[in-house]
Chain A
Amino acid sequence: DVKVTQSSRYLVKRTGEKVFLECVQDMDHENMFWYRQDPGLGLRLIYFSYDVKMKEKGDIPEGYSVSREKKERFSLILESASTNQTSMYLCASSLAAGSASFTVYEQYFGPGTRLTVT
Chain B
Amino acid sequence: QQQVKQSPQSLIVQKGGISIINCAYENTAFDYFPWYQQFPGKGPALLIAIRPDVSEKKEGRFTISFNKSAKQFSLHIMDSQPGDSATYFCAATNTDKLIFGTGTRLQVFP
Contacts and interface: CB of A to CB of B under 8 A. Distances in A.
Contacts of B102: 40-42
Contacts of A78: none
Contacts of A58: 97
Given A42-B89, A50-B96, A111 B41 contact: yes
Interface residues of B, number: 22
Interface string B39-53: 001111110010100
A112 B39 CA distance: 12
Contacts of B89: 42-43
Contact of B96 (A42, A48, A109): A48
Contact of A43 (B42, B49, B100): B100
A4 interface: yes
A105 B6 contact: no
A40 B5 CA distance: 11
Interface size class of A (residues with CB under 8 A): 20 to 34
A107 B46 contact: yes
A58 B96 CA distance: 12
B101 A111 contact: no
**Dominant secondary structure at the A interface:** strand
Interface in A78-98: 90, 92, 94, 96-97
A108 B9 CA distance: 24
Contacts of A112: 42-43
A66 B45 CA distance: 24
A92 B43 contact: yes
Interface string B79-105: 000000000010001011110111100
Interface of B: 6, 9, 32, 34, 41-46, 49, 51, 89, 93, 95-98, 100-103
Interface of A: 4, 31, 33, 40-45, 48, 50, 58, 90, 92, 94, 96-97, 102, 105-112
